[in-house]
Amino acid sequence: MKRLFLSILLMQFNSIVFTQNIVDSDVTSIPIEMLFPEGKNKALILSYDDGNIQDRQLVALMNKYKLIGTFHLNSNKLGKTNYLTKEEIKELFIGHEVSVHSANHPNLTTLSKLDVVYEIAEDRKELERLMGYNIRGMAYPFGNNNDVVIDAITGLGIEYARTVDDTYNYKIPLIFLKWHPTIHQFAKAFWEPNNPENDKKELATFYKIINDFNATKELAILDVWGHSWEMGSDKMKWEETEKFFQLITNNSSIHYTKQIDLVDYINAFNNLKFSVEKNLVLNLSSISLFFKYNGKTYNVLPGKSLDF
C-alpha cells in the first residue's frame, strides 16, 4: 500500500515535470512564419515574356496602376520586326525587372549543353550591357526545361527560372530553377481564337484565382505570366487587362515586387539564424526581414540581431 502510494506520488511528480517540459517545448514548436516586406502576407509577380512592341502599352498600363513587372527578353530578337529595340529598353523598363529568356528563343531541351550555355550566357551578358545591372532571373522559352537544361544553367548566375506549368495555387516554389507560376493571364482565354464559350470559362477561372488571392489571410504569392502580344491590338483584351490591374492594384496587404527581389528576400529569410529557444535571431543580410511568431509580427533589421 505504502509502495503504491509512493509510486502514485512519483507518477504525479513526473507528470508535473513532464507537463513543464511540454510547455517549454510547445513554445519552441510554434513555427516561425515568413512574412513579406513591411509584414505583408501576400506578394504579387507579373511576368511577361518575349519583349514584343506591345510591351510599351503594357508597361504604360502597369505604371498607371503602380504595378511592377518582370520582363523576360531575347536579346538577339530586339530590333527585329515587332520587337522592342535595344535602345529603348533601359528607359522603358525603369522600375521593372528585365530578365533572361535566352538569346534566340529556341526550345532549350533540343540543344546541346554547350548551346544552352551560349543561349543563356549570351542573353544575360547582352541584357546586362543594355540595362547596366546584374541580370539574375530567367523564364524558359516555351517553358521547356529538363535536367540537362537545368544542369547547363546552374553556375551561369541564374537564380530563378520560371516555367509555364501553372499551379493554380499561391505556394512558394521549393526549387527556384523550376519556378512554376500560379496562372497564365486570363487562364489562356483568347489563346484559341473564336472560342467564346471557352473564353468565358477560362476568364471565370482566372478571376476566381485573383479574387481568392485578394481574400486570403495566408502567406501567398500570386504569379501571373503572359505576353503583351496576346493582347495585340485588340481593344477588348486591353480593357480586360486594365480590369485585372484594377483588381490587384493599391492593396495594402500585397507586396508588389520584381521577381528577383522576392527571390532575394526569401533567400535572406531562409538564411536567418534563429536560436534554439526561438528568442534571438540574427539577420546577416542587407534586407529588412519580417516574420510572425506566436501571433506577433517581428522585424529584424539588416545586419542586426533581435531579441523577441
Our CB check for Zn ion shows the closer of 223 and 264 to be 223
What contacts 16, CB < 8 A, 6 or more positions away?
none
Residues contributing to the site for Zn ion (CB under 5 A): 49-50, 141
Classify the C-alpha dihedral 169-134-124-58 as positive or negative: positive
C-beta of 51: minimal distance to Zn ion in Å? Answer: 9
User: How far apart are alpha carbons 295 and 291 in whole angstroms?
Assistant: 10
Closest to 140 (Cα-Cα) out of 130, 148, 132, 129:
148
C-beta of 268: minimal distance to Zn ion in Å? Answer: 30
Our CB check for Zn ion shows the closer of 181 and 255 to be 181
Our CB check for Zn ion shows the closer of 49 and 55 to be 49
C-beta of 259: minimal distance to Zn ion in Å? Answer: 15
C-alpha distance across the termini of the chain, in Å: 50
C-beta of 180: minimal distance to Zn ion in Å? Answer: 16
C-beta of 157: minimal distance to Zn ion in Å? Answer: 20
- For 121, other C-beta atoms within 10 Å of its C-beta total 17
Closest to 95 (Cα-Cα) out of 126, 122, 137, 66:
66
Query: DSSP code of 291?
Result: E
Our CB check for Zn ion shows the closer of 227 and 255 to be 227
Our CB check for Zn ion shows the closer of 104 and 288 to be 104
Q: H or E element: which one contains 126?
A: helix 113-131
User: Closest CB to Zn ion belongs to which residue?
Assistant: 49
